[in-house]
Structure 1
Amino acid sequence: MTGPVPELEDRAAACADRLCEADRVLLASHIDADGLTSAAIAAQALERADLPFETVFEKQLDETAIAAIAETDYETVLFTDFGSGQLDVIGDYEDADAFTPVIADHHQPADRETEYHLNPLLFGIDGASELSGAGASYVLARALAEASDGTTTGVAADGGTAVESTESHPRADNRDLAALAVVGAVGDMQASGGELHGANANIVEEGVDAGVLETGTDLAIYGKQTRPLPKLLEYATDVHIPGISNDQAGALRFLEDLDLELKRDGEWRRWSGLTGEEKQVVASALVKRAVSRGVPAHKIDGLVGTSYTLAREPVGTELRDASEFSTLLNATARYERADVGLAVCLGNRDGALERARSLLRNHRRNLSAGIDLVTSEGVTNEEHLQWFHAEDRIRETIVGIVAGMALGNDGINRSKPIFAFATKTDDGAESGDEDPAEVKVSARGTHSLVRQGLDLSVVMSEASRVVGGDGGGHDVAAGATVPAGEESTFIERADEIVGEQLS
C-alpha cells in the first residue's frame, strides 16, 4: 500500500500490526472536533478490522485520566488526538506493563520515546498546519485496512461513549474516512490561507478519488449550507465589509439591490441553493462593495477560498460543509456530550443529529454572550499580549473560541495574541461552589503572527511550568491549566516569551 503520507507509512504499518495483535482495544480520544473525528475514524477502522474496542473521551489527558486508563483491564490502548504530549506519564505505565500505548497524534511530543507513536512532527511534517489528529488517525486507518484481511465482523457504535463490535462489514481500504479527516483538519484551524496544505492536501485528494469529497473555489464564509442569505452576509465578519458585516439592515439592502430571485415561497434562499451564475453575481457585488468601502486588497482576497464539501451528505445541512460540520461537533464536545458528536460522525442521522443541533443553538448563544462580554469589558494590554479573565462567566470549554472570535473587535488588537482565563470546574459541578484550585487559560493568535515567529505551544508550556501548571497545543492556538492565584505570574512570563519570539 502507498499511504496518503509516505513519510508516515512504515510507522503507521507498525502501529496497525500491533493493533491487529490485540484481543481488544481501548480507544481514548480528545473531545474537540479534531478529537471526535479522530475517534470516529479509528472506531470505524477497528470495527472493519474485526477488533473489539471500547471508546472513552477525555477533556484533558492528565495524570488522573491516564491512571484511570491504566486501571482498566485493557492491555492495548489507542490514543487519538492526544498522547504525544503526555508520553512521559504514559511511558511510566508502559514500563510497568500496565498497557501498551499506540498513539496517533499531532501535538508536540514530550521528551520520551515509545515504539508505536504515529506523529507527523517526528517525520518533519508540521502538526499545526499540515496534518491534524484526525489526519494521523486516517493514516493509521489506511494502514489498518492493509494489515487486516478478509471481511470483518464487528459492532458499530451505538452513539454512546462505549462501543463494542458485532455487525458484519465488507472489507474496505478506508479511503471513505478521508471526509472525516478533512472535517477534523478544518476544525483544527489548519485551512490557513483558505485551503488545506501539505499532508492534509494528500488526504483531500484521496477523498475526492473515493467520491466522498468535492472541492472548489467558493466564498470563504461560514454558513453557506444552512444560513439564509441575509444572515450569511451579516455574520460574515472574517473580512469586514462596511455596511454589510454586523449590519442586518445593510445586508438586506445589499441583497435587495441585486437582480436575482433571492426568495422562494416567501423564504430567503441559501447560498447552497443558488446556481453558479447567481453565486457569481453575489460574489462580484461583494467584491465591488469591499473595494468601494476601502477594504484592503489582501483582505478582499480572503473572501474566496477552497470549499470542502462532503459529497454524500444532504445539500443544505451542516454535514455537507466541512466547516459547519466541525462547528456542530465542537458544540457537542464542549458541553460534555462527546457521545452525541461521535454518533453523528458514525452516521446517526436521527436522534443524535437533532440533539447535536440543539447543542449547537445553545453553543451559538453562549459564544455570542461571551463575545459581547469581552467586547464590552475589554482586555488588559501587556507589552506583547492582551488578556482577560472571564472567571465563571464563560465556560472553560469555550473561552478559547470566544477569545479567537473576539480578535479584531473594537478594542481588541489582532497584532497581539490574546490570552483568556476561565474558572476550571469538574464536569457536572456548579461553578462558584467553592474557590477553584485551577484556572483554564486559552491563547489564540493569527497566522500572520505565527509567520513572524509566534508559537503559543511553547509559550503555554514554558509559562505554565513556571507556576506549576501544564500546557501545550499548537503555534496559533494553545491551552494550559494553572493554579488559581498564579495568573499574574503566568502572564508576566508569557509576555516575556511572546516578546522574545516576535523580536
Structure 2
Amino acid sequence: MAGPIPDLEDRATRCAQRLCEADRVLLASHIDADGLTSAAIAAQALERAGIPFETVFEKQLDDAAIAAIADTDYETVLFTDFGSGQLDSIGEHEDAGAFTPVIADHHQPADRETAYHLNPLLFGIDGASELSGAGASYVLARALAAETSTGAAAADGGAATTDAGTGTTARADNRDLAALAVVGAVGDMQASGGELHGANERIVAEGVEAGVLETGTDLALYGKQTRPLPKLLEYATDVHIPGISNDQQGALRFLDGLDLELKRDGEWRRWAGLTNDEKQTVASALVKRAVSSGVPASKIEGLVGTAYVLAGEPVGTELRDASEFSTLLNATARYERADVGLGVCLGDREGALERARKLLRNHRRNLSNGIDLVTSEGVTHEEHLQWFHAGDRIRETIVGIVAGMAMGNEGISRSKPILAFAEKNDEEVKVSARGTHSLVRQGLDLSIVVGKASRAVDGDGGGHDVAAGATVPKGREEEFVARADEIVGEQLS
C-alpha cells in the first residue's frame, strides 16, 4: 500500500513502526485549524491501529510545555503541527531518557535531528505551501495503516469499516482522513492562487478517490455554504469590486438587477443552493461588473478558484466547505476550547458542533471589532513594513488573523508585511506577522524575519514565509520592529 508522498514514505514508515512498538502514546498538538486537524487525523489513526493514547493541546510549545510533557509517564510522545522548531529542547529530554519523540510537522526545524522526524522540509518539499501539519499527520496515518492492516483490507487497498472511535465510515487505508488534511492545509493558507499545490495535490487526489472530497472550479469567495447571497458579495473583499465589496446596498442592487429567483420564502438563497446555471449567471455578471469598474485582469482572475468540498457533510453547513470548516475550528481552540474543535473533527455533530457554532459567532464579533479598531486607529509605517500594537484590546490568539484580514483596508497596505502586537502576560508580548503570497514570491520569509528579530531582543519565534509569530519581552517591541524592518528590507531588495 504505497503512501501518498513517495519522498516521505520511508521516514513515515519508520515513525509508524515506532508508534506500533509503544504501549501507549501521548499525542500533543497545536491549537489552530491545522493543529486540530492534525490531532484528529493522528487520533483516528492511533485508534484504528489499536494504540492507546491521550491527547493534549498547547498554544505554544515552549520549554515549560515540553518540560510538563517530560514529567508525564509516557515513554512515547507524538507531536503534530509543532515540534520541529523545538527539537533542541525536545532533544534534551530525549537524551535524558524522559521520552521518545515522534514528530509530524511542517515548520522550520531547529538545528538538531531525531530518529522519528517526519517533516517535508527535510525532503525538499515546501512546508509553507505544499504540505501542512495535517498533511504530515495524514502521511503518517497512511503509513500506520500500512503497518497494521492485514488480510483482505490490505489486499483491496482499504476496505470500508465502522470506526470504533467515531462511529463514522472509515477505511482500512486511512484515505478517508484526506478530507481533514485538506481542511488543515486550507486553514494554513496554503491554497495560494485559489488552489492547493505540490504534495497537497496528491492528498486531494486520494480524498477524491476515497469519496470524501469533491473539487471543481467555483467562485473563490468565503461563505458559499452559509452566507446569504448579499452578505457573500458584500464581504468578498479579496478582490475589491467597486459598488459591491463593503457596500451593503450596492450588493443588494447588483442582485436585484439579475433575472433570477434569488429569494425563497422571503429568505435570500445561498450560493451552495443555486443551480449551476444560476451560479454561472451571477458569476458572469460579477466579472462584467469588475471589468466595467476597471478592476485589473490579474485581480479578476482571483474571483475564481478551486473549491474543496467535503462530500459527506450536509449542503449549506460550515463543514461542507474546507475554508469554512477551518474557520469554525479556529474559533474553538483560540478560545481555550480545543476539545470542542477536536470533537467536531472526530464526528460529533451534536454537542460539539453546536458549541463550535456559538464560539464561531463570538469569534466573528471579535474579528470584526478588531479589524474596526486597527482600521480606525491605523498602523505605523516603517520603510519596509507596517505595524500596530493592540495591547489587551485584541486577544493574542487572534491578533494575527485580524492583521491579515485588515491588510488592504484604508491606510493598511498589501505591499508591505504587517506586524501585530498583543499582550500575552505581564512580562511578554505576542507578535504575529502576516504577508502575502506575492511578497513571498519577491523573497519575503517571515519565519526568518521574526526568528532573527525576536532572538535579537531575547525572545523567540518562527513559522512560515507568509505567516509567522513570536514572543518578545514587554518593552522591547520597537527594537523588534527596527530589526525586523532591516531584515525585510534585505529580503525584498
Q: Specify the TM-score bucket, using the shorter chain as the normaliser.
A: over 0.9
1:472 maps to which residue? 462
* Aligned residue number for residue 67 of structure 1: 67
| Kept after mapping to 2: 8 A contact 1:48/1:169 | no
Quickly say closer, same or farther: Cα 1:18–1:297, change in 2 above 3 A: same
Quote how far apart the aligned CAs of 1:156 are.
2.5
- Which secondary structure state, in structure 2, belongs to the residue aligned with residue 344 of structure 1? helix
Name the CA distance, whole Å, in 2 between partners of 1:332 and 1:84.
24
Superposed CA deviations along residues 118-171 of structure 1, whole A, max 9, x for unmatched, are 0000000000000000000000000000111359999627xxxxxxxxx99976
Alignment correspondent of 1:393: 393
Cα contact 1:50–1:153 (8 A) shared by 2: no
Is the CA contact 1:47–1:153 (under 8 Å) kept in the aligned structure 2? no
Question: Does residue 491 in structure 1 map to residue 470 in structure 2?
Answer: no
1: CA distance between counterparts of 2:476 and 2:224? 43
Q: Is the 8 A contact 1:258 1:282 kept in 2?
A: yes
Q: Are positions 1:295 and 2:268 aligned together?
A: no
Cα distance in structure 2, aligned partners of 1:147 and 1:11:
13
User: CA offsets, 1:319-365, max 9 Å, x none?
Assistant: 00000000000000110100000000000000100000000000000
Q: Does 1:482 align with 2:477?
A: no
2:105 aligned partner:
105
**2:146 equivalent to 1:156:** no
User: 1:395-423: per-residue Cα shift (whole Å, max 9, x none)?
Assistant: 00000000000001000111100000000
Rate the CA distance shift 1:153–1:203 in 2: closer, same or farther, 3 A. Answer: closer
TM normalised by structure 2 equals: 0.97
In structure 2, C-alpha distance between the alignment counterparts of 1:168 and 1:195, rounded to whole Å: 28
- In structure 1, what is the equivalent of residue 178 of structure 2? 178
After TM superposition, list the pairs within 5 Å mapping 1:213-228 onto structure 2: 213-228=213-228
Within 2, Cα distance between the matches of 1:127 and 1:211? 26
1:195-214 matched pairs, under 5 angstroms: 195-214=195-214
- Aligned-partner residue type, residue 275 of structure 2: T
Equivalent residue, structure 2, for 1:276: 276
Residue 452 of structure 1 is aligned with which of 422, 442, 449? 442
The answer to whether the 8 A contact 2:77-2:99 is kept is yes
| Cα pair distance change 1:335/1:170, threshold 3 Å | closer
Q: Output the CA distance in 2 between the equivalents of 1:94 and 1:238.
A: 45
The verdict on how the C-alpha distance between 1:142 and 1:412 changes in structure 2, with shifts beyond 3 A counting, is same
CA distance, structure 2, for counterparts of residue 203 and residue 496 of structure 1: 38
- Aligned position for 2:33: 33
1:164 is matched with none
1:18 partner amino acid: R
Question: Which residue in 2 is equivalent to 1:122?
Answer: 122
- Once residues 153 and 100 of structure 1 are traced to their aligned partners in structure 2, the CA distance between those partners, rounded to angstroms, is 31
Work out whether residues 223 and 324 of structure 1, in 8 Å CA contact, stay in contact via their aligned partners in 2.
yes
RMSD of aligned C-alpha atoms? Answer: 1.4
Rounded to whole Å, the distance in 2 between the matches of 1:149 and 1:65 is: 34
1:244-259 correspondence to structure 2 within 5 Å? 244-259=244-259
Describe the SS at the equivalent of 1:85: helix
Runs of 4+ aligned residues of structure 1 deviating over 3 Å after TM superposition are 149-155, 167-171
Distance 1:215 1:169 in 2: 21
Matched with 1:17 is 17
Q: Deviations over 1:348-404 (max 9, x none)?
A: 000100000000000000000000000000000111000000000000000000000
Partners of 1:108 and 1:473 within 8 A in 2: yes
Q: How does 1:50-61 map to 2 (within 5 A)?
A: 50-61=50-61
Counterparts of 1:153 and 1:259 in 2: how far apart (Å)?
47
Match of 2:187 in 1: 187
Is 1:134 the equivalent of 2:134? yes
Shift of the 168–220 alpha-carbon distance from structure 1 to 2, 3 Å rule, reads closer
Whether the 8 Å contact between 2:138 and 2:181 is mirrored in structure 1 is: yes
Amino acid of the structure 1 residue aligned with 2:351: G
CA displacement, residues 4-58 of structure 1 (integer Å, 9 cap, x when unaligned): 1000000000000000000000000000000000000000000000000000000
TM-superposed deviation, 1:2: 1.4
In 2: Cα distance, 1:413 partner to 1:109 partner: 31
SS in structure 2 opposite 1:302? helix
Aligned length in residues: 484
Partner of residue 160, structure 1: none
Unaligned ranges ≥5, structure 2: 154-160
> Which whole-Å CA distance do the structure 2 matches of 1:69 and 1:134 have between them?
21
Question: Displacement of 1:253 after TM fit?
Answer: 0.5
Match of 2:362 in 1: 362
Counterpart in 2 of 1:320? 320
CA distance in 1, matches of 2:380, 2:168: 57
Partner of 1:162: none
Cα pair distance change 1:241/1:47, threshold 3 Å: same
Change (3 A) 1:120 1:170: closer
Letter in 2 for 1:52: P
2:81 alignment partner AA:
D
Amino acid at match of 2:488: V
Kindly indicate whether the alpha-carbon contact (under 8 Å) linking 1:130 and 1:197 is maintained by their aligned counterparts in 2.
yes
CA distance in 2, matches of 1:222, 1:336: 25
TM-score (norm 1): 0.95
Q: In structure 2, what residue type is equivalent to 1:379?
A: V
Partner of 2:158: none
1:6 correspondence with 2:15: no
SS in structure 2 of the partner of residue 495 of structure 1: helix
> 1:428 is matched with which residue?
none
d(CA) in 1 for partners of 2:202, 2:163: 29
Secondary structure at 1:86 match in 2: helix
